Structure 1
Amino acid sequence: MKKKWQYALLGFFLGMALLVCSVFHSVYSTQSYGRLINYVGIVRGATQRLVKLELNNEPSDELITYLDDIQENLRDGEGKYDLILPDDEEYQECLGQLEDRWEELKEDIYTYRADHSEKEKLLRDSESYFKLANDTVFAAEAFSSDQIRNLLGMTIALIACIIVIWLFLFWSNIRKILNLESANKTLEDKAGRDILTNAYTVGRFKEVAQKLLDKNHDKKYAVFYVDFADFKYINDLFGYAWGDRILKEYANIIQKDMRSDEVFCRVNADNFVILRYYDSKKELLERQKEVDTRVTEYMRQSTEKHALSVCCGLCCVEDVIEDLKIEGLMDRANFARKTVKTGKFDKYRFYNESIRRKLYQEKSIESSMDTALEQKEFKVYYQPKVELSTNRVVCSEALVRWQKPDGTIISPADFIPVFEKNYTIPLLDRYVFEEVCRWLRHLLDTGREALPVSVNVSRLQFYNSDFVKAYAEIRDKYRIPEGLLEIEFTETILFDNWDVLSGIVEDLHKAGFSCSIDDFGKGYSSLSTIQNLNIDVLKIDAMFFPNITTKEKDRLLVEEIIKLVRQFGVVTVAEGIETMEQVEFLRSVNCDMIQGYVFYRPMPEAEYEELLYTLENRKEDIPVQERLETCLC
């Protein structure tokens, strides 16, 4: 097909070349036609002058010779006057007759010169010659007009061809530009699509969504921030391939629900953001619930038949006081989503004034974090751990509290999530760790007994290749002996990267640190995980203990956990213990240590130091009841 086009274009351009040549030839010939008409007119006029001169007895042989030359040039198309010989039958006929009459007229002139009585015949032949010359001029003019019309036609055809060529080239270039633009849009669209779900990426979503908000002021818009509850559990239980299928199906369902001037994207993992317009908030909820119902049905009809829970935060533009861009609306929808993350029934939450106040508090915390670290507003508290076999405090956990200059205490539940969200939690981790090392050094320098302290580290530390080295350098800076510092991390880290985690645990052991898992039981880890990880301490989460004295299943589960991990050589610590009944049960199942309000609340550094001084001077074991009477509850 391409070759046919090439041949067609070649033929077209050859035809154009011939047409151009014809036009140029016609233009040149047109000039010759004018000269031809002029000289035929000269023959007509000069002949009449010649006759007049002869009648006045003023013969002119030069004029006769001049007219002979012109007539010869007209007849042959050659001569000094450069006259053409038109290929026209009428003109040729008139020219032949004119030439014959010219010969007759010359005979009449020569006769008249000899005998003036032939005057009348000369005048008649002269008049006849004039008429014939006049007809020859008209024939030349008619031929010239025909040629000019032909030239005009060819010129119009040439102009038309030029216009066609220009239009063709213009169309070709426009088509190329449009194709290129279309290809660029396609590539740009692909670049702005999530590979797995084909939904927009966050960056592309923000561009498109902001344009829609700017363009459609007459529409009421809302931003949805969607999250699957416990999606990590689905990945772990059924595999990532199945999790990916769910995400793709959910994206397909949303896509089918989208209307013109609406858009959605996949933010990350199992989070989606949707921009919809609405007439009523009831309509908004109904549409989203319909989408979520469809994906739930998809799960139920699958072979796995696992229930799936979706929670969603909504931010309506009309409910926001500030003039926010799409990023701000997304943040507020996400903030609303976080308030229902663990909800079982109320899975949809609109951004409102109470959430706005909470967001304001978060922003306030965020803006003062750096200054608080510099001015050491974060205070380390210590919660003692009691060894059940001796009823003695044998170690403690370092906790952190934020004490503002005015004495206000900010709960870790308020500021820790903000540090994590802004990826500054490692700074706080190191701050607490160094404060613990400083205090231990103080005890050692004053000759006091220093008990081991466990220090929490966030999951972000495990993505820092210098984490172990940095902590070891801080410890060495304060010359803290091995065995006094325990690194504590939560169970959720076990699911991030097993190889990295096991390598870090090994490095921590080599550097002289003990390792413990906090909040065991909150997630989905198994005891085999503990066996393979080679940790030193397992802290059993407080969720197991509120009903430990009344629920047989809880008692059996805790007993089996303690029994199994002790076989691995792992020390067990029960968290959140608040009653003596819980203490006695844990003692009966050989739990190693207890941490909770039943003995001690978290206390400031000076208070814990005073407690250690008091206990240090009492050599005998202190009965539990006496501890209860003196504890800080």
Structure 2
Amino acid sequence: MKRRWRYALFGFFVGMILLGCVTLQSIHSVRSHGQLINYVGIVRGATQRLVKLELADTPSDELIVYLDDILENLTTGKGKYGLALIEDRDYHLRLEELDQQWGDLKELLYAHRTDAAVAPAFLDKSEQYFDLANQTVFAAEAYSSRQTRDLTVLIILLFVGILAVWAVFFRFNFKEMLHLKSANQDLSDQAGRDPLTGAYDLGRFQREAQLLLDGAAEEKYALFYVDFADFKYLNDLLGYACGDNILKRYAALLSADMGDSEVFGRINADNFVILRQYDAKRHLLQRQRYVDAQIVDYVYTTYQKQSLPVRCGICCVEDTVEQLKVEGLMDRANFARGDVKNGTVSGQYCFYDEGIRRRLFAQKAIESSMADALKAHEFEVYYQPKVDPKSGQIACAEALVRWRRADGTVIPPDQFIPVFEKNRTIPLLDRYVFEEVCIWLRHMLDSKKRVLPVSVNVSRMQFGGADFVPAYTAIRDKYHLPPQLLEIEFTETILFENWDQLSEIVDDLQAAGFSCAIDDFGKGYSSLSTIKNLSIDVLKIDALFFRDMVHADKDRLIVEGIINLVRQFGIVTVAEGIEDPQQVEFLRRAGCDLIQGYVFYRPMPQPEYEALLASVPLAAN
């Protein structure tokens, strides 16, 4: 059936092409007919003028020649005027008669020039000629009218044919076109959406939100930046499929809450952004609390009564001094969320305000001067000794960093380290500190001074780069340092991000001669079963275990259990954040290998630490 229609359609198109050619020919002919009628009219008019000139005794032979040429072209279809013959009997009869009478009229004209008595006959003949010329014009016009009518019919047929073609085309393709249009709309809508939750991705959210803000200048808008506390823990505990279900459920709850002029998006992981309209701020909180309560209840009832605290920063456009785009509002809402995350404010929700604005600008000032500060070596390495509790002597140290501005101002790490992490330049600072330590150790060795091992922190961002181990090895070897002088510390949070990658990197570090230490153990959700599967050298137990150790039997038992267990794996234990002599005594009895904290030494500048090493006994290596 389709083939027959295809052939029929092809034949129809061929017919339309032929009809179009005929129509073009007809248009050309009609155009030439108009030219021919004009010249027949010229014959009539020019003859009248010729007769008047002859009767007035002012003959014009040029006009006679002109009329001869036109009549010859009209009757033969050949001549310099390009006048074509037309196939019309009535017109041809009158034209032939007109040509004959022109000959008679010329004879009388020449006779009149020699004999004035011929004038009446000459004038009578001219009247007959004029009348015949009129009839010839009318015959040509009649023929042209018929041709125009036929052309009109052809054009109508061509138009109808075209309409018929389109009708056939739409008849067989309309459904397909509708389906294609629907598919294109679906694809267009899916572009810029998170494939897991269906929420807008970052780019699409920013575009849609900016359009809403630009189009409703009089409306009150607020931007929310939301995430879940301990979401990584839930992923590890319940599995990533459950984590995905939670994200999809939360996106569905947000979607149900959205108004016509509101949007939301998922930036990454468990981070969501929302743009809402409002009349009063309390209504904003009511809506967000309602959505959050539903997701908390869903997780509690569905997944083993687990909790899922929400952390939310809110930036109302009316609370900003600057004219901000969506990106600026997101920054400020995220900064407010950071206050919830780090405990600066109580509760789960924080509105951006002037106090946050001042801290944000201070952070931006830090961020803008980081690169220059690194080049100017404004970052100084401090050393905090680790002490053997049995002998009370220094065994090694940890390298820490402080920022001393050109004006002498010292910026503490808790102010600039998060900024480095946020803008993902922390690896630059890590390598800077590592190389500064290597330079100092080389100086100590060259000066024949005694040195002790130094541990250096690396951020989790280092572990994403394939050049991490080769780069650190190259820096160490550049200064020809013995491998046992350097230890690499990384926080326990890295354990949950990519276990396979971490295990491989630890093996590569140890193969390159580095010792490896897990910092802040117990601060998150690491477990001893995880530790036994990772061939680390040092375990640093977080200070939270020691805060109330004197009165907390459980904490003492946990610490003793950790120390006794990891000792069997050949792992050195370090207790960090120790400030009380009673804690030192307990740790000494428990068999802890090293202690780091204010009870012995605070972090100190390099010259001070160098002087300390020269003045106190050192633990045996």
The two structures share one fold, judged by TM-score above 0.5? yes
Q: Which residue number in structure 1 is paired with residue 196 of structure 2?
A: 196
CA gap of 1:5–1:251, structure 2 versus 1, over 3 A, is: farther
1:463 equivalent to 2:435? Answer no
Secondary structure at the aligned position of 1:274 is classed as strand
Instruction: Return closer, same or farther for 1:551/1:163 CA change in 2, 3 Å cut-off.
Output: same
The structural deviation recorded for 1:233 is 0.4
Superposition deviation, residue 216 in structure 1: 2.3
Q: Which residue of 2 aligns with 1:206?
A: 206
Deviates more, 1:539-548 or 1:207-216: 207-216
Checking the alignment, whether the CA contact within 8 Å between 2:394 and 2:619 is kept in structure 1 is no
Contact 1:398 1:453 in 2 (8 A): yes
The offset of 1:499, in angstroms, is: 1.9
Matched, 1:360 2:366: no
Aligned mates of 2:394, 2:482 — CA distance in 1 = 19
Structure 1's 223 and 149: CA in aligned 2 closer, same or farther, altered over 3 A? same
Amino acid at match of 1:467: F
Change in Cα spacing, 1:25 to 1:440, as seen in structure 2 (3 Å) is closer
Q: Distance in 2 between matches of 1:241 and 1:193?
A: 20
> 1: distance between equivalents of 2:237 and 2:604?
41
Computing the radius of gyration over CA atoms, which structure comes out larger, 1 or 2?
A: 1
Q: Do the aligned partners of 2:490 and 2:518 also contact (CA within 8 Å) in 1?
A: yes
Take 2:282 and 2:330, find their aligned partners in 1: how far apart are those partners?
20
Distance across 1 between alignment mates of 2:340 and 2:529: 33
Contact 2:378 2:404 in 1 (8 A): yes
| TM-fit CA distance, 1:20 | 8.9
Instruction: Report 1:435-474 matches (<5 A).
Output: 435-474=436-475
Which residue of structure 2 lines up, in the alignment, with residue 229 of structure 1? Answer: 229
Q: Is 1:240 paired with 2:253?
A: no
Question: Residues of 2 paired with 1:484 and 1:361: CA distance?
Answer: 37
Residue identity opposite 1:312 in structure 2: C
Alpha-carbon distance in structure 1 between the residues aligned to 2:22 and 2:483:
105
- For the structure 1 residues 165 and 279, does the alpha-carbon distance in structure 2 shift closer, same or farther, using more than 3 Å as the test? farther
Instruction: Assess if the C-alpha contact under 8 Å between 2:575 and 2:592 holds in 1.
Output: yes
Task: Report which stretch shifted further, 213-222 or 330-339.
Answer: 213-222
Q: 1: distance between equivalents of 2:245 and 2:392? A: 54
1:16–1:161 contact (8 Å) kept in structure 2:
no
Identical columns (%): 61
| Structure 1 match to 2:579 | 578
Distance 1:487 1:203, change over 3 A: same
- Alignment-derived partner of residue 100 in structure 1: none
1:212–1:181 CA distance, 2 compared to 1 (3 A): farther
Q: In 2, are the aligned partners of 1:16 and 1:158 still within 8 Å (CA)?
A: no
- Which whole-Å CA distance do the structure 2 matches of 1:229 and 1:454 have between them? 30
Q: Which amino acid aligns with 2:226?
A: V
> How far, CA to CA, are the matches of 2:564 and 2:450 in structure 1?
32
Q: Between 159-168 and 277-286, report the one with greater CA deviation.
A: 159-168
Residue equivalent to 2:60 = none
Tell me which amino acid in the other structure corresponds to 1:513. F
The CA deviation at 1:446 is: 2.1
SS in 1 for 2:565: helix
Q: 2:546 & 2:370 partners in 1: Cα distance?
A: 35
- Residues 139-178 of structure 1 mapped to structure 2, 5 A cutoff: 154=153, 158=157, 161=160, 164-165=163-164, 168=167
Cα separation, partners in 2 of 1:18 and 1:564, compared to 1, 3 Å:
closer
| Amino acid corresponding to residue 568 of structure 2 in structure 1 | Q
2:575 counterpart of 1:563: no
What is the CA–CA distance in structure 1 between the aligned matches of 2:12 and 2:476, rounded to whole Å?
88
Work out the CA distance in 2 between the residues paired with 1:479 and 1:20: 90
Kindly tell me: are residues 423 and 14 of structure 1, through their superposed partners in 2, closer, same or farther at Cα, counting changes over 3 Å? closer
Hey, what does 1:140 align to over in structure 2?
Answer: none
How far apart, CA to CA, are the structure 2 residues paired with 1:227 and 1:472? 38
Q: Secondary structure at the match of 1:248?
A: helix
Q: Note closer, same or farther for the CA distance 1:25–1:365 as it changes in structure 2 (3 Å cut).
A: closer
Whole-Å separation in 2 of the counterparts to 1:170 and 1:436: 78
Q: Are the counterparts in 2 of residues 457 and 489 from structure 1 also a CA contact under 8 Å? A: yes
Q: Tell me the amino acid that sits aligned with residue 246 of structure 1.
A: I
1:82 deviates by: 7.7
What's the offset of the Cα at 1:330? 1.2
Is 2:337 the partner of 1:337? Answer: yes
- The answer (yes or no) to whether the contact 2:572–2:593 under 8 Å persists in 1 is yes
For residues 4 and 209 of structure 1, the distance between their equivalents in structure 2, rounded to whole angstroms, comes to 53
| Structure 1 vs Structure 2 CA RMSD | 3.9
| In 2, Cα distance between equivalents of 1:365 and 1:276 | 31
Letter paired with 2:596: Q
- 2:435 corresponds to which residue? 434
Q: Is the 8 A contact 1:386 1:595 kept in 2?
A: yes
Report the residue type matching 2:556 in the other structure.
R
Matches within 5 A, 1:3-82: none
Instruction: State the partner residue of 1:108.
Output: none
| C-alpha separation in 2, matches of 1:308 and 1:606 | 48
Taking structure 1 as the reference length, the TM-score comes to: 0.74
Q: Kindly provide the CA deviation profile for residues 301-359 of structure 1, in whole angstroms up to 9, marking residues without a partner as x.
A: 31533121111111122222222221111111111111112559621111111111111
Preserved contact between residue 20 and residue 158 of structure 2 (Cα < 8 Å): no
- What SS does the aligned partner of 1:483 have? helix
The answer to whether structure 1 residue 543 and structure 2 residue 544 are counterparts is: yes
1:606 aligns with 2:607: yes
Deviation, 1:187, is 2.5
Q: Please, what TM-score do these two structures have when normalized by structure 2?
A: 0.75
Gapped regions of structure 1 (runs ≥ 5): 32-80, 85-143, 621-633
- Is residue 292 from structure 1 mapped to residue 286 from structure 2 by the alignment? no
Structure 2 CA distance for aligned equivalents of residues 422 and 222 of structure 1: 25
User: Partner of 2:126 in structure 1?
Assistant: none
The answer to whether the 8 Å contact 2:517/2:536 transfers is: yes
Distance (Å, rounded) in 1 between the aligned partners of 2:463 and 2:23: 85
Counterpart residue type for residue 254 of structure 1? L
| 1:521 CA displacement | 0.2
Q: Deviations over 1:410-438 (max 9, x none)?
A: 01001011111122111111111111122
What secondary structure does 2:311 align onto? strand
Q: CA deviation at 1:529?
A: 1.7
- 1:56 corresponding residue in structure 2: none
Q: SS of the residue aligned with 2:418?
A: helix
1:249-264 alignment runs, 5 A limit: 249-264=249-264
CA–CA separation in structure 2 for the residues paired with 1:5 and 1:286: 64
Task: State the alpha-carbon separation in 1 of the partners of residues 603 and 410 from structure 2.
Answer: 14
Other-structure match for 2:77: none
Distance change in 2, residues 1:452/1:13 (3 Å): closer
| Aligned residue identity for 1:243 | G
Distance 1:217 1:181, change over 3 A: farther
Decide whether the 8 Å contact of 1:378 with 1:400 is kept in 2. Answer: yes
Match of 1:615 in 2: 616
Q: Residue 193 of structure 2 aligns to a residue in which SS? A: coil
Tell me the SS of whatever aligns to 1:217: coil
Q: Say if 2:378 is the partner of 1:374.
A: no
Matches within 5 A, 1:622-633: none
Per-residue CA distance 1:454-481 (angstroms, 9 max, x = gap): 1111111112222222222222222222
| SS of equivalent to 1:323 | coil
1:380–1:15 Cα change, 3 Å: closer
Shift of 1:150: 9.6
2:279 aligns to what? 279
C-alpha separation between the residues in 1 aligned to 2:358 and 2:24? 86
Contact conserved, 1:23 with 1:151, CA < 8 A, in 2?
no
> By how many angstroms is 1:180 displaced?
6.1
Structure 2 residue ranges without an equivalent (≥5): 34-86, 91-142
Query: Contact 2:23–2:155 (CA<8 Å) still a contact in 1?
Result: no
SS of aligned partner of 1:594: strand
CA shift at 1:377, angstroms? Answer: 0.7
Alignment match, 2:71 = none
User: Aligned to 1:569, what secondary structure does the other structure show?
Assistant: coil
Q: Displacement, 1:293?
A: 1.5
CA offset digits 1:158-193 (Å, max 9, x no partner): 376157358759979999988766544432332311
Distance of aligned partners of 1:22 and 1:497 in 2 relative to their CA distance in 1, 3 Å threshold: closer
Written as runs of structure 1 = structure 2, the 5 A alignment for 1:57-136 is: none
Compare 463-472 and 451-460 and name the one that shifted more.
Answer: 463-472
**What residue number does 1:118 align with?**
none
Corresponding position of 1:529: 530
Shift of 1:300: 2.5
**Equivalent pair of 2:391/2:619 in contact (CA under 8 Å):** no
